[in-house]
Amino acid sequence: MKGGNYELITMDSNRGSFGSQLGVILASAGSAVGLGNIWRFPTEVGRGGGAAFILIYLGFILLLAMPVMLCEFIIGHSARSNAIGAFQKLSPGKPWVVAGIMGVLGGFLVLSFYSVVAGWTLHYTVQSALGQLQGLQTTDNGLQATDYGLSFNAFVSDPWQPILYLAVFLLLTHFVVARGIQHGIERYSKLMMPMLLAIIVFLMGFSLTMPGAAEGVRFLLQPDLNEVTPEVVLGAMGQAFFSLSVGLGCLVTYSSYFSKETRLVKSAMNVCIIDTMVAVLSGLIIFPTVFRVGIAPDAGPGLVFITLPNVFNLTFSEMPIVGYVFALLFYVLLLLAALTSSISMHEICTAFISEHFQAERRRAAVVVTFICLLLGACCSLSFGPWQEVTVFGRGFFDLFDFTVTKFLMPLGGLLMTLFVGWYLDRKLVERELTNGGTLSVRLMRPLLILIRWVAPIGILVIFLNEIIPLFM
């Protein structure tokens, strides 16, 4: 039997909801735009041969991640429930609920390790505001990469400091989520996203006018196919899923607060466009500056915490005010991006706990914050005193990252495309895509082909390619 009784489901709604279409787009784009765009994307681009990686990435966004996003929207918008509740409503008693359970579990894990890096960001923001990032300048040529490397390593391996920043960051996230949908998530997304976009455009203009910027731009826009290895291709799918926040039911949760009139296809496209634009613009901020001081672009995760402080430092020694403003704005940007994403991770868990256990939102949020603080502290300690503590050969941070990005996101995405493409009633899906028949969606057929065939097969092939070697 096909699942999903549309009439019955849309009637029930005593929950929060977004107040405007702008709120819908900014909150969803806020979830998507995050450390994934500004920290992870440039790192992956650096390792994967610049523009060649970007091309593959764009293909995956269009063919795999965007269809999953649409499926999440269809599930959440029609069921009007949290990630687990939505499956229970649309397919009562059926095992599809596993997709929701994996999502909520993934929500806890992702928020825990993400907040650690967000905590580092908060520390760097404070440091740059106090002008202390420049304090490390030691040599005549100002290019002592090791100094920043050392201070970064000393900071992240400290047992207490990073946990303190992690806690402050989680409290900020908590504060927004506890206030609810319209007064919390929507209100703060409307405040933070325009700020974030303005800072990005400003910094990009700035970075492109620096001497030597052309080389960085060339790296970003000229494909070097020699660098494309199978790992680069696999990494591109992981990056596409992570960056669009798909596979964990985060967008199932958000779309359950969309109004009935919200256009799902248009919203999904807008979110994909904004997210991709921010990723590429971040590359245009980072690579010209990195090339300017002649540092290899494949510096890895230390790129924004080790390489960039070097660049800021150099700028600072030539033009102090410019260097100061550049550094500060960059870390504020990173912090805003992290916060709008962590809010959405928190909401996956808070929505589930408050609806499932019929707990007040504020109480549910406290539980989530507390659990993530404990798990996050474990992740943070895995850079310092707990370096030797491993589970399945990985420290906590790595383990959580690996579980979410390599297992839960692709598997969740796969299940959701199968659920919407093959299990849900076709009429319900069409109604969701056309807003109850009021919109003609010319894209309907191609979208359905993507959802039913291209995305599940593509995700499965890539997932198996990534997983099988682990067990050989």
Q: Which residues bind ligand PHE (CB under 6 A)?
A: 31-32, 34-37, 110, 242-243, 245, 248, 250, 341, 344-345
Question: In angstroms, rounded to a whole number, what is the distance separating the alpha carbons of residues 59 and 233?
Answer: 11
Q: Which is nearer to ligand PHE, 61 or 293 (CB)?
A: 61
Q: Which is nearer to ligand PHE, 327 or 349 (CB)?
A: 349
CB of 66 to ligand PHE, least distance (A): 14
CB of 440 to ligand PHE, least distance (A): 31
Question: In angstroms, rounded to a whole number, what is the distance separating the alpha carbons of residues 286 and 290?
Answer: 6
**Would you call 252 helix, strand, or coil by DSSP?**
helix
CB of 248 to ligand PHE, least distance (A): 5
Phi, psi dihedral angles at 269 (to 5 degrees): -65, -40
CB of 348 to ligand PHE, least distance (A): 7
Cβ neighbours, 10 Å, residue 371: 15
Q: Which is nearer to ligand PHE, 243 or 417 (CB)?
A: 243
Question: In angstroms, rounded to a whole number, what is the distance separating the alpha carbons of residues 164 and 167?
Answer: 5
Q: Which is nearer to ligand PHE, 293 or 414 (CB)?
A: 414
Q: Which is nearer to ligand PHE, 24 or 213 (CB)?
A: 24
CB of 345 to ligand PHE, least distance (A): 5
Q: Which is nearer to ligand PHE, 37 or 307 (CB)?
A: 37
Contact predicate 211/315, CB 8 Å: no
Instruction: At 77, list the tokens.
Output: 């918008």
Q: Which is nearer to ligand PHE, 248 or 418 (CB)?
A: 248
CB of 251 to ligand PHE, least distance (A): 8
Question: In angstroms, rounded to a whole number, what is the distance separating the alpha carbons of residues 107 and 90?
Answer: 21
Closest CA to 349 of 335, 361, 336: 361
CB of 337 to ligand PHE, least distance (A): 7
Cβ neighbours, 10 Å, residue 456: 22
Q: Which is nearer to ligand PHE, 34 or 142 (CB)?
A: 34
CA 103 vs. chain centroid, Å, equals 14
Question: In angstroms, rounded to a whole number, what is the distance separating the alpha carbons of residues 442 and 166?
Answer: 46
Q: Which is nearer to ligand PHE, 110 or 429 (CB)?
A: 110
DSSP state of 15: S
Q: Which is nearer to ligand PHE, 37 or 417 (CB)?
A: 37
Instruction: At 231, list the tokens.
Output: 């790992």
Please give the biggest Cα pair distance in the chain. 74
CB of 409 to ligand PHE, least distance (A): 7
Q: Which residues contact 441 (CB under 8 A, 6 or more apart)?
A: 265, 433, 434, 447
Vertex 52: Cα angle to 50 and 54 (nearest 5): 75
Helices 97-129, 320-356: crossing angle, 10 deg rounding: 150
CB of 249 to ligand PHE, least distance (A): 9
CB of 31 to ligand PHE, least distance (A): 5
Contact predicate 345/117, CB 8 Å: no
Q: Which is nearer to ligand PHE, 349 or 429 (CB)?
A: 349
For the chain, how big is the Rg over CA atoms in Å? Answer: 22
Q: Which is nearer to ligand PHE, 213 or 284 (CB)?
A: 284
Closest CA to 305 of 109, 53, 35, 110: 35
CA 14 vs. chain centroid, Å, equals 29
**Would you call 379 helix, strand, or coil by DSSP?**
helix
Sign of torsion, CA 36 39 42 43? negative
CB of 23 to ligand PHE, least distance (A): 17
CB of 129 to ligand PHE, least distance (A): 23
Closest CA to 56 of 239, 215, 219: 239
